[in-house]
Amino acid sequence: MRFLFYIVAVYGFLYIPIVLVVLSSFSTSGDILHWSGVSFCWYRKLFCQREIIDAAYFSFRVAFVSASISSALGLLCAYLLVNSKRSDSWHHNENNTDTNQSLKEPKSIRLLNVLSMAPLLVSEIVLGLAFLLAFNLFSNWGFAVNPMHRLVIAHITLGCAYTVSILKASLLSVDKSIEEAALDLGAKPHHVFIHVTLPIISRALLVSWLMAFLISMDDVIIASFLHGSGVVTLPLLIFSRLKFGVTPDINALASILIFMAISVSVVVWRVMKNDKQRDVDN
């Protein structure tokens, strides 16, 4: 019973600020303390601000593109990592003399594994600094990258760290006898990948895309290092608003973002639940 009290306290700690913001976004006075009625006026005011709409659109574009590319790159990486790790994948069908050559692969693969996970092993500020220096160097070499593309590249690299680990776990759980059956029946490796492997991991692919999308929408630090003059991302705009004076319409914006995050997690939950259900059925 005392334990239950503790659990309620921890969940309260996690949720009280969030509930507070959502509640105060509906307050006419813009403040929970001076409650004078329910209204949507702050939401209306929010959608009148060109700056916020632009920032949201910009953030959305960056997140969409970087999530898509980092899922694809992460899938490729995870596939290579898993298939080089499985010594008994299709390379097994080769003659013994050939396997020596394919055993050379792991060193480059191991490096790939470490490099793809490296962004997780340092603080975000180090990544931001690293990208700032790198893009500066590229522009000195004559490859100037515009601010949006810089941000997209940085977010792809950060997102890959997550997508690779999600997709690697998913690919490892694929029953390899199914792939082998397809290979034995004469399908080429890329056909096996498209028609057999991809449908099996499609849910994990969706989850990793959502993850990369959220990470891109979440990021303040890298964006603050890389943003050029012009449009800023939504989190960065909120950060500057928080620093130089908060207006109540931020409550409304925060509530919308909270709603988005919760709906995404519900989607992920349903997907994972169905996945588990299907495993049980099988």
* Of residues 203-232, those binding other proteins (CB under 8 A): 214, 217-218, 220-221, 225
Annotate each residue in 131-150 with x if it binds other proteins (CB under 8 A) or - if it does not, as one string: xxxx-xx--x----------
- CB-nearer residue toward other proteins: 109 or 200: 109
From the list 38-46, 49-57, 166-174, 260-268, the region that binds other proteins by CB under 8 A is: 260-268
User: Taking CB under 8 A as the criterion, which residues in 6-25 touch other proteins?
Assistant: 6-7, 10-11, 13-18, 20-21, 24
User: Maximum CA pair distance of the chain?
Assistant: 81
With a CB cutoff of 8 Å and minimum separation 6, the contacts of 9 are none
Q: Closest CB to other proteins among 44 and 92? A: 92
Chain residues 92-111 in contact with other proteins, contact rule CB under 8 A: 93-95, 98, 101-102, 105, 108-109, 111
Cβ distance to other proteins smaller for residue 51 or 94:
94
76 binds other proteins (CB under 8 A): yes
What gap in Å lies between CA 55 and CA 148, rounded to an integer?
12
Name which position in 45, 60, 124, 203 contacts other proteins (CB under 8 A): 124
Two tokens, residue 171: 């690919």
- Our CB check for other proteins shows the closer of 80 and 174 to be 80
Residue 98 in tokens: 């050939």
Comparing CA positions, the residue from 214, 228, 220, 210 lying closest to residue 123 is 220
Stretch that binds other proteins, among 39-47, 87-95, 174-182, 199-207 (CB under 8 A): 87-95
CA distance linking residue 105 with residue 119, whole number of Å = 23
Strand partners, 27: 38
Alpha helices in 122-228 (DSSP H): 124-140, 147-173, 176-184, 189-192, 198-200, 202-218, 221-226
Question: Cα(11)–Cα(169) distance, rounded to whole angstroms?
Answer: 29
Among 180, 257, 271, 275, binds other proteins (CB under 8 A): 257
Question: What are φ and ψ of residue 247, in 5° steps?
Answer: -115, 155
Least Å from the CB of residue 37 to other proteins: 18
- Binding status of residue 121 toward other proteins by CB under 8 A: yes
Q: Which of 65, 112, 196, 271 binds other proteins (CB under 8 A)?
A: 112
Q: How far apart are CA 38 and CA 28, in angstroms?
A: 6
